[in-house]
Each structure stands twice: as structure tokens, then as C-alpha cells.
Amino acid sequence: MLRPTLIRAAHVHKPLIRFPDRRAPKTPHDPQPHPSAPEEVAKNFDNFRKILETGPHFDPAKLKPFSLESSQPKAGGSASSSAKADAVDTLFDLPPRFWNTPSMRMSPAEMDAVQSGGASLFD
């Protein structure tokens, strides 16, 4: 072989990506606060973790109690035991802020087009 060929043959390809060894022993992870965490969390991180692990984090005072006895049936219908008290039948039973939006408003021309199946657009 020629010398340049020997030099090329001696060079071993080394991939740029390295995968961790799966059989290597895992080092234990010691939880630490995030570097940009607020100071009060970083100072009392153990207390913060204890509070975080205690359970659900919501304000129980803001929850509305629900009981099946307090649910009133709607006029003309019977309330099933699985129906919630604040369930509605149509969108328009909700307050106007939910249904009186620009995307829900229709012009008279749009209503005619819907009711006529699009035939009113070709007048």
C-alpha cells in the first residue's frame, strides 16, 4: 500500500454522538431549586418540596359544594341522578358572554343562506 492509503486506513471513524452506558451505575439525584427560582423558594427548598408533596394545591374555599338533593329539575324535564346542577341543554342557556360573540353572530344574509341551503346566494 501507498503511504497516504495507510494513513487513511489507520484513522478510525469516531461518531460525533455519544450514548450513555446503560450498565453504568446511576448516580443519585439530589433535588435542587431551579437557578431562576424565587429567592424564598431557593432558601427554603426543603420546606417547598414538603408542601408540594402534601397533596392537591387549590383553595378549598373557592370550591362550590355540589349535592344531588340541591339540584332542581328544569321545567318540562326530569333531572337524572347523574346530571350536574350547572349543566345546560343548549348554548343559549348560558350567559350572553358565552354565546353573544362575533363568531356566533349571524347577519340576515348568512341566515338566509343557511336556511335556503345556499340558494339565496345566487339571486
Is residue 110 pLDDT above 80, yes or no?
yes
**Over residues 87-97, mean pLDDT:** 81
Q: Which of 88, 84, 93 is nearest to 66 (CA)?
A: 84
Q: Which of 99, 100, 69, 71 is nearest to 86 (CA)?
A: 71
pLDDT of residue 70: 46
User: Does the residue 108 lie in any domain?
Assistant: yes
Is residue 8 pLDDT above 50, yes or no?
yes
Is residue 28 pLDDT above 80, yes or no?
yes
Identify which has the larger pLDDT, 83 or 86: 86
Is residue 60 pLDDT above 80, yes or no?
no
Identify which has the larger pLDDT, 22 or 52: 22
pTM for this model (two decimals): 0.29
Whose grid coordinates read 359544594? 65
User: Does the residue 77 lie in any domain?
Assistant: no
Is residue 68 pLDDT above 50, yes or no?
no
**Structural domain for 110, as ranges:** 91-117
User: Does the residue 55 lie in any domain?
Assistant: no
User: Does the residue 36 lie in any domain?
Assistant: no
Q: H-type helices in 1-123, by residue range?
A: 3-10, 39-43, 45-53, 96-99, 108-115
User: Does the residue 29 lie in any domain?
Assistant: no
User: Does the residue 81 lie in any domain?
Assistant: no
Q: Are 85 and 70 in contact (CB under 8 A)?
A: yes
Amino acid of residue 42:
A
Report phi then psi at 93, rounded to 5: -80, -15
Total domain count, the chain: 1
Amino acid of residue 14:
K
